């Protein structure tokens, strides 16, 4: 008689955890990977808009004027950043991305009237020349950081941390460190390039105050200074950044991406973007700085709805990284060749041990669609013109979605979206965003 | 030409603005009086001028310097000559923490002691310290040379890359992946040249060389390191 199988999977020791234990037992090292947190966390998806009906008066869908113009850095800078819509492209390094990708980002951002951002490794001519408005990151590693590029920047972003790895620094594995990348970073090619977790020339917020003044002096007080950090103790960090003299604060939630970091950080450090926005806004309000110091949020911003919800919660703009890469072809089964034909690369995904739709193998430098690579053959698979066209479409869609939601809420300016326009679908989101659970007046913890 | 700025009657902002307006090939001598610990004096200068700061200066003095020859007739606060690209910065007194941090080029001379993290993250700068240096100096230093005539604190050269450290006095402890290596003839020549440039004298043979053991160059030494590039 055939024995019946009893296949009861353990919640504690499910297949993912079993695989983790088995792999750790075989290798003795933790996993490093790219992109952001994959597990479900309370997010902007858990909020919905209370659009107009009898009690509110809507504007006409896609026709009536709805202002998207956004100004960042009005506190001290002589030349604040002016954007055509409240989106900026997040900082991503040359090294993690190819020069072609950096150029595509610059071209699309310029076309859309928004800014793009450098990353670890310095500023490339490709991105400076293609970007009308470029934010220059000052990172702990200071790879490639120099005063000439400081003076070329339209804004400077002091990066304290990143949502994917707050407190964790960064890593560019040797497989991606080409001669050019190594030269820019003053390190030998092929070695793993550790990006430090703390700045070399200041430690606490009091020193940071003087560091900001130094950067202002070098730039003759022209450009805004942003401070970016990963979302952990958001309320305290926002207040310290304000006190240190930031013009703009960038808060990156745990869904934020990375080119390569320990999975234990990606999935277990920092708080989700949803509560991070609320905490940052409360801190600005408590310091009477709402609207005086601008707030940019990032970490899992993907859709026009996400942008609208972030603004309604109090952000002035959002930064997008992973969504931008996916627009350029990340996780698609093919790339487009010079003749405009799709070339299937499913087998190359398989060689990396993954498949289109599941890939997070940016750390290998073997991106089958040529986005997160320095490989001379692979990087040719993402041509700047094609990539810029795709990204312009994506950003245009986000703008259309953002404005259509704003109009439906009766707003002629996307910055008029407000917390009152939102309710939560889950108890967790209600508590984190401090918005009532839909159909109730209940805000847990309020 | 020569100009004098007195920080009793003017501001750091006004001085820096003036210096930033200089042509990249401008020459001349600029005297800065009564610094009284002011921060950010002569930051972002890009001209082969001579700048003399007559007294103690605060944080980030001569930060991001290019070309200029800056002399501080006193002590300096944190991060003197941080991210210096070229030129020369000479501190006649003592320096606080992070002297020469992330410097890409040029020469930093400190006649007295330098506090902790001297030469942190250095990327090609040369630093000569007449006295001793504090703990965690040359942390993650990538390129350049750090010459110390006195002692070095604990954690020297932690996580070093390709920078090289020469210490004449006692080393109170090495950081992760730093090791003492034999002093070669080439080392002695380089030490001699740097001492001469710094205007300091010592016997090169008395120095100990510290460099990276390079065991941390890959986060996982057991994994294949086959570059596809």
CATH number for position A151: 3.20.20.70
Indicate whether A11 belongs to any domain: no
Angle at A219 between CA A215 and CA A222, to 5 degrees: 115
Query: For residue B221, what pLDDT is reported?
Result: 67
Rounded CA-CA distance A366/A361 in Å is 8
Residue A158 is inside which H or E element, if any? strand A155-159
Q: What DSSP designation does A413 have?
A: B
Lowest mean pLDDT among A18-32, A104-118, B117-131: A18-32
| The pLDDT of residue A299 | 97
Structural domain for A357, as ranges: 44-433
A255's tokens:
């869904």
The pLDDT tens digits for A341-373 are 999 999 999 999 999 999 999 988 899 999 999
User: Quick one: pLDDT at residue B227?
Assistant: 42
| 3 state DSSP class of A290 | strand
The set of residues, in sequence order, having a beta carbon less than 8 Å from that of B161 and lying 6+ positions away, is: A187, A188, A191, B140, B141, B142, B143, B212
Query: For strand B88-91 and strand A225-230, is the pairing parallel, antiparallel, or unpaired?
Result: unpaired
Q: Is the pLDDT of residue A4 over 80?
A: yes
**Neighbour count for residue A308 (Cβ, 10 Å):** 29
The angle subtended at Cα B115 by Cα B113 and Cα B121, nearest 5°, is 115
Phi, psi for A435 (deg, rounded to 5): -120, 145
* A210/B59 CB distance under 8 A: yes
Residues of B in contact with A192 (CB under 8 A): 217-219
For residue B204, the model assigns a pLDDT of: 97
DSSP letter, residue A239: H
DSSP state of B152: B
| DSSP tag of B204 | G
The CATH number that applies at residue B161 is: 2.160.20.60
Q: Is residue A136 part of a domain?
A: yes
**Using an 8 Å Cβ cutoff, are A228 and A91 in contact?**
yes
Question: Any CB–CB contact under 8 A between A337 and chain B?
Answer: no
Q: What is the DSSP letter of A184?
A: H
For residue B174, what is the DSSP state?
B
Does the pLDDT of residue A170 top 70, yes or no? Answer: yes
- On whether any CB of chain B is under 8 Å from the CB of A179, the answer is yes
Nearest CA to A371 among A34, A101, A36, A35? Answer: A101
Nearest by CB to A191, from B43, B79, B217: name it: B217
* Cβ–Cβ below 8 Å for A202 and B79: yes
d(CA A295, CA A283): 11
Q: Find the residue in A nearest to B59 (Cα).
A: A210
Contact residues, A window 193-212, toward B, CB-based 8 Å cutoff: 194, 196, 200-202, 207, 210-211
pLDDT at residue B151 is higher than 70: yes
Give B44→chain A minimum CA distance, Å: 5
Closest residue by Cα to residue B50 from B62, B63, B40: B62
Residue B226 covered by a domain:
no
- Residue B222: the pLDDT is 66
Contacts of A145 in chain B (CB under 8 A): 83, 102
Q: Residue B179: exposed, middle, or buried by beta-carbon count in 10 A (0-12, 13-18, 19+)? A: middle
Judge whether B225 lies within some domain.
no
Closest by CA position to A169, among listed A43, A32, A304: A32
Which residues 340-399 on chain A approach chain B with CB closer than 8 angstroms?
Answer: 365-366, 374-376
- What is the pLDDT at residue B220? 77
Q: In chain A, which residues have their Cβ closer than 8 Å to the Cβ of B78?
A: 201-202, 207, 210
Q: What share of chain A is helix, strand, coil (3-state, %, to 5)?
A: 35, 15, 45
If pLDDT is split at 50, 70 and 90, which confidence band does A31 have? confident
Write out the two tokens for B136: 């965690």
Let me know if residue A38 belongs to a domain: no
pLDDT surpassing 60 at residue A56: yes
Q: Residue range A27-44: average pLDDT?
A: 91
Q: Length of chain B in residues, anyone?
A: 229
- The DSSP string of B18-87 is HHHTS-TT---EEEEE--TT-SSTTTT-BSS-EEEEES-B-TTTTTT-BS-EEEESS-B-TTTTTT--SS
CA distance A121 to A186: 10
> Could you tell me if B161 and B141 are in contact, meaning their C-beta atoms sit under 8 angstroms apart?
yes
Structure ipTM over 0.85, yes or no: yes
Contacts of B16 in chain A (CB under 8 A): 217-218, 220
DSSP code at position A90: P
Q: For chain B, how many structural domains are there in total? A: 1
From the list B31, B34, B82, the residue with the least C-alpha distance to B61 is B82
Which tens digit of pLDDT belongs to each residue from A141-159?
999 999 999 999 999 999 9
- A36 touches A299 (CB < 8 A): yes
Contact B100, B119 (CB under 8 A): yes
Q: Given a cut of 70, is residue B229 above it in pLDDT? A: no
Instruction: For residue range A274-326, list pLDDT tens digits in order.
Output: 999 999 999 999 999 999 999 999 999 999 999 999 999 999 999 999 999 99
Would B221 be classed as within a structural domain? Answer: no
A–B CB contacts, 8 A cutoff, strictly below: 133
Query: Phi/psi of residue A59, each to 5°?
Result: -100, 160
Cα distance between residue A122 and residue A139, in whole Å:
9
User: A191 to chain B: nearest residue by CA?
Assistant: B217
Phi then psi for A147, rounded to 5 degrees? -65, -30
Residue range of the domain that includes B158: 2-212
Confidence grade of residue B223 (pLDDT, cut at 50, 70, 90):
low
- The yes-or-no verdict on residue B226 having pLDDT over 50 is no
What is the mean pLDDT of the segment spanning B104-115? 98
Say how many Å lie between the first and final Cα of chain B, rounded.
53
Average pLDDT, chain B: 95
Q: CA A308, CA A87: separation in Å to the nearest integer?
A: 11
Residues of chain A with Cβ-Cβ distance to B139 below 8 Å are 200
* CA-based torsion, B219, B220, B221, B227: positive or negative: negative
Tokens of A219: 């730039």
Q: Above 60 in pLDDT, residue A263? A: yes
Q: What percent of chain A has pLDDT over 70?
A: 100
Q: Which residue of A has its CA nearest to B16?
A: A217
Do the domain assignments include residue A20? no
Q: Is pLDDT above 60 for B228?
A: no
User: Sign of the C-alpha dihedral, residues A380, A384, A389, A395?
Assistant: positive
Q: How confident is the model over A422-438, as a mean pLDDT?
A: 98
Confidence of residue B225 (pLDDT cuts 50, 70, 90): very low
Structural domain tally of chain A? 1
Task: Measure CA A443 to chain center.
Answer: 28
Please report whether residue A31 resides in a domain.
Answer: no
In this predicted structure, the answer to whether residue A61 has a pLDDT above a threshold of 90 is no
Q: Do A218 and B104 touch (CB under 8 A)?
A: no
Q: Is residue B72 part of a domain?
A: yes
Residue B219 maps to a domain: no
Contacting residues for A250 by C-beta, under 8 A, at least 6 apart: A157, A226, A227, A228, A229, A296, A297, A298, A319
What is the per-residue pLDDT for A2? 76
> Is any Cβ of chain B less than 8 angstroms from the Cβ of A125?
no
Distance from CA of B43 to the nearest CA of A (A): 6
Contact B121 A141 (CB under 8 A): yes
Q: Does the residue B34 lie in any domain?
A: yes
Residues from chain B contacting residue A189 (CB–CB below 8 Å): 227, 229
CA of B43: which chain A residue's CA is closest?
A218
- Grouping H, G, I as helix, E, B as strand and the rest as coil, residue B108 is strand
B125 — pLDDT class (breaks 50, 70, 90) = very high
pLDDT at residue A428 greater than cutoff 60: yes
* Residue A5, pLDDT score: 85
- A50-59, A212-221, B91-100, B194-203: segment of lowest average pLDDT: A50-59
CA of A71, closest CA in chain B: separation in Å?
A: 26
Residue A27 belongs to a domain: no
pLDDT at A215 over 80: yes
Residue A191 banded pLDDT, cuts 50, 70, 90: confident
Confirm whether A420 is domain-assigned: yes
| Interchain contact, B120 vs A200, CB within 8 Å | yes
Distance CA A39, CA A66 (A): 35
In a domain, B58, yes or no: yes
Name residues whose C-beta falls within 8 Å of residue A382's C-beta, 6 or more positions apart in sequence: A98, A100, A101, A104, A328, A329, A335, A369, A370, A371
Residue B44 placed within a domain: yes
Contact A175 B66 (CB under 8 A): no
Give the model's pLDDT for residue B197: 97
Q: What is the pLDDT of residue A260?
A: 87
Closest among A37, A41, A50, A44 to A433, alpha carbons compared: A44
């Amino acid at each position: 008689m055939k024995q019946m199988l009893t296949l009861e999977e353990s919640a504690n020791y499910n297949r993912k955890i079993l695989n983790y234990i088995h792999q750790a037992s075989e290798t003795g090292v933790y996993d490093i990977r790219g992109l952001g947190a994959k597990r479900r966390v309370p997010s902007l998806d858990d909020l919905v808009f209370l659009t107009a009906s009898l009690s509110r008066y809507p504007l006409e869908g896609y026709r009536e004027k709805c202002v998207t113009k956004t100004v960042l850095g009005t506190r001290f800078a002589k030349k604040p950043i002016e954007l055509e819509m409240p989106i900026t492209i997040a900082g991503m390094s040359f090294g993690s991305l190819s020069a072609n990708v950096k150029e595509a980002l610059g071209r699309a951002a310029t076309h859309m009237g928004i800014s793009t951002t450098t990353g670890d490794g310095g500023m490339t001519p490709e991105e400076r020349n293609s970007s009308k408005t470029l934010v220059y990151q000052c990172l702990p590693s200071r790879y490639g950081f120099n005063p000439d590029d400081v003076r070329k920047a339209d804004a400077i972003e002091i990066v304290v941390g990143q949502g994917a790895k707050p407190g964790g620094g960064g890593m560019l594995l040797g497989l991606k460190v080409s001669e050019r990348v190594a030269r820019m970073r003053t390190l030998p090619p092929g070695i793993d390039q550790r990006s430090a977790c703390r700045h070399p020339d200041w430690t606490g917020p009091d020193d940071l105050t003087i560091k900001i003044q130094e950067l202002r002096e070098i730039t003759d007080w022209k450009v805004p200074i942003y401070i970016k950090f990963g979302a952990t103790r958001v309320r305290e960090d926002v207040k310290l950044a304000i006190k240190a003299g930031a013009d703009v604060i960038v808060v990156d939630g745990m869904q934020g991406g990375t080119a390569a970091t320990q999975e234990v950080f990606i999935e277990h450090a920092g708080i989700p973007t949803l509560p991070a926005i609320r905490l940052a806004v409360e801190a600005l309000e408590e310091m009477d700085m709402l609207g005086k110091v601008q707030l940019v949020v990032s970490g899992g911003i993907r859709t026009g709805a996400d942008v609208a919800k972030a603004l309604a919660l109090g952000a002035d703009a959002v930064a997008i990284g992973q969504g931008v890469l996916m627009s350029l072809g990340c996780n698609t089964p093919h790339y487009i060749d010079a003749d405009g034909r799709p070339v299937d690369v499913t087998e190359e995904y398989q060689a990396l041990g993954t498949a289109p739709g599941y890939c997070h193998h940016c750390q290998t430098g073997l991106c089958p669609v040529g986005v997160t690579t320095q490989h001379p053959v692979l990087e040719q698979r993402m041509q700047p013109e094609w990539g810029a066209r795709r990204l312009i479409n994506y950003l245009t869609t986000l703008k259309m979605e953002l404005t259509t939601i704003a109009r439906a809420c009766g707003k002629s300016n996307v910055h008029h979206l407000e917390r009152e326009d939102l309710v939560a679908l889950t108890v967790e989101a209600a508590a984190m965003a401090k918005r009532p659970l839909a159909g109730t007046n209940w805000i847990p913890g309020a | 030409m020569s100009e004098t700025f007195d920080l009793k009657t003017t501001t750091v902002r006004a001085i820096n603005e003036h210096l930033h307006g200089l042509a990249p090939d401008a020459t001349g001598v600029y005297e800065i009086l009564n610094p009284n610990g002011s921060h950010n004096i002569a930051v972002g200068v890009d001209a082969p001028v001579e700048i003399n700061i007559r007294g103690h200066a605060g944080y980030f003095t001569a930060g991001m310097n290019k070309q200029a020859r800056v002399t501080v007739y006193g002590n300096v606060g944190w991060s003197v000559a941080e991210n210096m690209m070229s030129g020369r910065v000479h501190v006649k007194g003592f320096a606080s923490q992070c002297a020469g941090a992330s410097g890409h080029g040029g020469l930093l001379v400190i006649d007295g002691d330098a506090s902790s993290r001297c030469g942190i993250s250095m990327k090609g700068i040369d630093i000569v310290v007449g006295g001793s240096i504090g703990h965690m100096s040359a942390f993650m230093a990538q390129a350049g040379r750090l010459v110390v005539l006195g002692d070095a604190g604990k954690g020297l050269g932690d996580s070093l890359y390709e920078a090289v450290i020469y210490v004449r006095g006692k080393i109170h402890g090495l950081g992760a992946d730093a090791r003492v290596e034999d002093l070669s003839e080439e080392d002695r020549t380089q030490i001699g040249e740097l001492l001469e440039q710094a205007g300091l004298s010592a016997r090169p043979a008395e120095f100990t060389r510290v460099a990276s053991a390079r065991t941390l160059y890959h986060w996982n030494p057991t994994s294949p390191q086959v570059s596809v590039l």
